[in-house]
Structure formats: C-alpha cells, structure tokens
C-alpha cells in the first residue's frame, strides 16, 4: 500500500510530465529533491489542495488567491515635504558603482557539447550533432546555457584591471539552472568559489551581496526564521556569513544569519539595505504556511528607513527579485514604504530577470507623479540566448548634501560571436550609456516616466530599447503591439497585479491579457 508521500510524488511527476515541464527523468529527480520540504510546508498550510496546485503550477492547475490584505505599520511621523531631485552642482564629485547579478556558474559546462538539448539546461554533456562549430562555445553560448567558470573569472580579471570603483553590489543567483539535481553541497561550492574569486580579483573593493532565489536547495526554498532544524536556512545563511565576513560588519552578519537581510552605513550620509526578496516570491513554497511579512522584514525595513530619515541619511536598497515580481500584498506594502520614504531612498537596484529593464513607482494618490525607479540590471549569465553582461552606475559622489542618486549608467557585454571566433580573445565592451542612448537630460524618476511615453510614440526608439533589453542579442521576432503593451505595462508597474498603473498607457488589450504576456517571459 502506498504512503501519502508516495502518492504525492507520483501525482507530482505525472503533472510535471503531462504539462511538459520537462522529460520524465528530470521530473522524477525534481520531485525527489523538492518533495520533503514542499510536503512539510503543505502540512502546515491552511490552503486547500487546489489552491496549492494553483500556486505551484499556475492557473491551469487550480485557483490560488493569497492576496489576503495585510499592512505594515508606517510611522506616525509626518512625511517630510517632497523635494524634487536636481542635478548636482557643477564640479561635484561622482563615484562609480559596479553591479553584478545572476552569474549562474555551471559546474558541468562543457565546450563543444550540445547547446540545443531538450533539457531545461544545455551545454553540459553530449557532443553536438553537425559541423564542429555547432557545439557550445568556449566562452559561452546563445542557448539554454549558463556560464563556465573561466568566463566569470575572465570578467573579474577585466574588472580588476579597469578604472576603479568605489564599491560593488552583487545581487545573487550563483548556481546554474540545473535545479532538478542540486544539493546543498553544490550550492555551497558555488557560494564559496565565486565569493573567493571576487575577493581575489576585486580586492580591496568592498562588495555588498544580496541573496538570490537560486542559492537554496531546492531552489526557491527559503523558510521563515521560525522553521528550525535541518529544514531551516541556517546552513546557507551561516555559510554566507563566513564567505562575506571580510565585506560586512558584525551587526550586518547577525541579521544575515537569521533572515538573509542586513543594513550597514556605507559612509557618512549613506546607508545600504540588502533585502532577502525570497520572502516575497510566489515561487517560495514555504510561504504556503504564512505569507504575511515573512521574517518581519518589511516592518524591519520601515524601522531602518525611519531611523535614516531622522539622521538625514540617504539609503540604497539592493535585492534580487524586483518588487513587481513579488506576491501582491508584499509588493503593495513595499510600494507604500517607497512612497512614504521617497526622500530617503536614493536608489533601488535589483536583478533576477536577466534582461535590462526598470520598474516605476508613482505617488499613491494619483499614480501620476514619479517618485522612484527600481533599476533592474542584466545578468552575467547567457541564460537564455543572451550575451554575458554587467552594469556600472555613476552616482552623485561623496560630499555634504549629496543626493547619492544615480546620474547615469552603462551596460557592458561580451559579444559571444566575436569571443568564440577562432583565435579571438574575449573583449568586454560597452553596449550603451543610458543618457546617450535615450537622449535623457538625467536619469531621475521623471525622466524614465517621460521615456515610457516616448517609447509609445516612437517605434524606432522602442525597438532600440528592445535590442538593449536583450543585451544586444534580441530574438528574431520583433516586439510588436501585444508584446509592446505588455512590456510597457511591466516597466510602469513597480507593484504587482495592479491594472491601474497601466491605464495611463491606454493599452488596447485587456489587462488580464497584458499580464499573461508579461508573465510568459519570466524564466528565472
């Protein structure tokens, strides 16, 4: 007689196979890897089976609504008067910020292997069919492939030889996308190896990390701190604290060990907050238990921002998953926080999507005045069909009264067609500079809002954005009416599942259709 666990395993494998999520062997491996933790979260959950299936698989499996309203408590202290951002005075110093995200090191990457396999991740075994040049390139490949370690190390060597940076932000996703077969040992090897490489090639540059969704084993599995024992995340957070103790002070390491988030003062007048965005993720199955402000992170953020406001500090926020990709209640609460502290939050930096984009925040009263922008930088990895890339931000520098806001940014890529050519050496090159590429007077929130309007009216400008969005290697199909409506809606939406944010764009398609198209490109 089968146990309940065996029945669940068989059902999950069948669903995975029938929905063609992967071939049966991969479905079986994935179910075995996820089963224990998912069942543990399930038995503690108050959700019905159909709701859980809708959460894990999507609307085609069942209806899931975890949108029960909850609210963080904002301070009773009145919000300071809004002061519109202004360019720094002539001759004011600037600083350069290195931003790395989504490295995705594939420990099994094999040059010459099959880049067109049927598995979720390729370039890792089995010779390619066809002519010799058909196999995976030495430096990477335009396909469902992550990166070999030598490409990542080449990038870090290049950065170490280049113009100096003041600091670096590094927003997670270190392991590859072979999520059906990863162990804790695999994840820790990626964490320790890549952290050591950053120390080696970037020192003495301080690096400030954030936790990605791929660091866990199984992927996306981040239990809240009240889950103890072997199923807790202590194994991961503790290893991060060890790997990063050369970059972070003791008080930051303390909250990192508990919940994967931290704050620290970067310099007088500027504070950093690193959020664990896995506590907002709809893919985090541990939120089946309770999705109300997991780990109390948002309420903690309110306290940090209130203290910073009182001390006249500006704040940079970094995280992995962008806010509009979060569960609705979490996302809407974060939006409220950004509105309340718009005068304190100087910049927001995220990754996760692998492409080059941004998310707008508007005042809650009218949804028309831009108050902030979340910069979403492209990935180092090629997954899927991309050039490797990284981002450099130019910031208002260190002087009394500095805004510490972003003044411009540059995106750099490794053109794989050139790098993989016989006899070629890898050449990291600038793809574009934001102000120059889009004709922007500055890169404040109002400038990005105006750019969205220009995208609507100027098809050539939008298609240029589409090219840069994919790091200079766009899909063959152009982004036309439906695709464009979905993408512009996503860019205008700093909070999830809110059709009112798209109304200003007057899309011809219903919001549900626009949202469905937007979700189709979420691969990470």
At residue 429, what are phi and psi to the nearest 5 degrees? -135, 150
Distance CA 171, CA 268 (A): 23
Query: Which pTM does this prediction carry?
Result: 0.92
CB atoms < 10 A from the CB of 358, how many? 22
At residue 252, what are phi and psi to the nearest 5 degrees? -70, -40
Closest CA to 318 of 292, 349, 296: 349
Written as six digits, the tokens of 505 are: 């764009």
DSSP state of 220: T
What sign does the dihedral 294-299-304-309 (CA atoms) show? positive
Distance CA 182, CA 188 (A): 10
How are strands ordered across the β-sheet holding 270-274?
A: 262-267, 270-274, 314-318, 345-350, 370-376, 357-362
Distance CA 488, CA 471 (A): 18
Distance CA 379, CA 427 (A): 17
Q: What is the dihedral of CA 289, 10, 215, 46, to 10 degrees?
A: 0
Distance CA 150, CA 128 (A): 21
Distance CA 39, CA 34 (A): 8
- Per the annotation, where are the binding residues for Zn(2+)? 102, 104, 173, 213, 320, 352, 354
- Per the annotation, where are the binding residues? 102, 104, 173, 213, 320, 352, 354
Distance CA 31, CA 6 (A): 11
At residue 414, what are phi and psi to the nearest 5 degrees? -110, 110
Distance CA 178, CA 124 (A): 10
Helix (H) or strand (E) segment spanning residue 487: helix 481-492
Distance CA 391, CA 413 (A): 9
First and final C-alpha spacing in the chain: 38
pLDDT tens-digit profile, the chain (524 residues) = 455 556 555 655 455 554 455 666 666 666 666 666 666 665 566 666 666 666 555 556 666 555 467 999 999 999 999 999 999 999 999 999 999 999 999 999 999 999 999 999 999 976 666 665 579 999 999 999 999 999 999 999 999 999 999 999 999 999 999 999 999 999 999 999 999 999 999 999 999 999 999 999 999 999 999 999 999 999 999 999 999 999 999 999 999 999 999 999 999 999 999 999 999 998 998 888 888 999 999 999 999 999 999 999 999 999 999 999 999 999 999 999 999 999 999 999 999 999 999 999 999 999 999 999 999 999 999 999 999 999 999 999 999 999 999 999 999 999 999 999 999 999 999 999 999 999 999 999 999 999 999 999 999 999 999 999 999 998 888 899 889 999 999 999 999 888 888 888 876 666 666 666 655 555 55
Distance CA 169, CA 513 (A): 35
């Amino acid at each position: 007689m089968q146990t309940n666990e065996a029945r669940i395993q068989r059902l999950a494998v069948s669903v995975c196979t029938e929905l063609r999520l992967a071939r049966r062997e991969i479905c079986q491996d994935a179910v075995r890897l996820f089963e224990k933790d998912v069942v543990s979260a399930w038995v503690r959950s108050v959700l019905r089976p159909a709701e859980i299936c809708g959460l894990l698989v999507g609307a085609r499996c069942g209806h899931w609504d975890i949108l029960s309203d909850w609210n963080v408590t904002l301070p009773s202290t009145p919000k300071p008067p809004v002061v519109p951002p202004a360019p720094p005075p002539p001759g004011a110093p600037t600083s350069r910020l290195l931003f790395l995200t989504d490295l995705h090191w594939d420990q099994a990457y094999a040059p010459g292997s099959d880049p067109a396999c049927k598995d979720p991740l390729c370039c890792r075994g089995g010779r390619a069919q066809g002519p010799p040049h058909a196999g995976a390139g030495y430096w990477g490949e335009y396909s469902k492939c992550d990166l070999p370690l030598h490409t990542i190390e080449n990038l870090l060597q290049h950065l170490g030889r280049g113009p100096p940076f003041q600091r670096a932000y590094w927003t997670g996703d270190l392991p590859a996308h072979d999520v059906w077969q990863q162990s804790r040992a695999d994840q820790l090897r990626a964490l320790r190896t890549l952290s050591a490489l950053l120390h080696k090639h970037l020192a003495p540059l301080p690096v400030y990390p954030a936790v990605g969704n791929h660091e866990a084993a199984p992927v996306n599995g981040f239990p809240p701190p009240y889950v103890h024992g072997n199923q807790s995340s202590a194994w991961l957070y503790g290893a991060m604290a060890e790997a990063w103790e050369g970059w972070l002070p003791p008080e930051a390491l303390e909250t990192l060990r508990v919940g994967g988030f931290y704050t620290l003062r970067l310099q007088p007048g500027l504070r950093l907050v690193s959020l664990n965005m896995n506590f907002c993720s709809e893919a985090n199955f541990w939120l089946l238990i309770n999705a109300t402000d997991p780990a109390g992170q948002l309420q903690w953020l309110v306290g940090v921002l209130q203290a910073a406001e009182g001390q006249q500090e500006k704040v940079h926020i970094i995280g992995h998953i962008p806010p509009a990709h979060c569960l609705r209640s979490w996302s809407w609460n974060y939006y409220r926080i950004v509105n309340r502290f718009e005068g304190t939050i100087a910049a927001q930096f995220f990754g996760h999507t692998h492409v080059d984009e941004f998310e707008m925040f508007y005042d809650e009263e009218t949804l028309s005045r831009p108050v902030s922008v979340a910069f979403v930088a492209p990935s180092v990895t090629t997954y899927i069909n991309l050039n490797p890339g990284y981002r450099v931000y130019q910031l208002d520098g260190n002087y009394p009264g500095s805004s510490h806001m972003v003044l411009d940014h540059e995106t750099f890529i490794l053109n794989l067609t050139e790098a993989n050519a016989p006899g070629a050496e890898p050449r990291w090159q600038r793809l574009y500079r934001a102000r120059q590429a889009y004709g922007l007077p500055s890169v404040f929130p109002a400038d990005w809002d105006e750019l969205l309007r220009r995208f609507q009216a100027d098809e050539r400008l939008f298609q240029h954005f589409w090219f840069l969005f994919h790091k200079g290697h766009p899909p063959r199909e152009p982004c036309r009416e439906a695709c464009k409506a979905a993408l512009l809606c996503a860019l205008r939406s700093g909070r999830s599942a809110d059709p009112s944010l798209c109304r200003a764009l007057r899309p011809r398609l219903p919001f549900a259709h626009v949202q469905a198209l937007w979700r189709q490109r979420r691969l990470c």
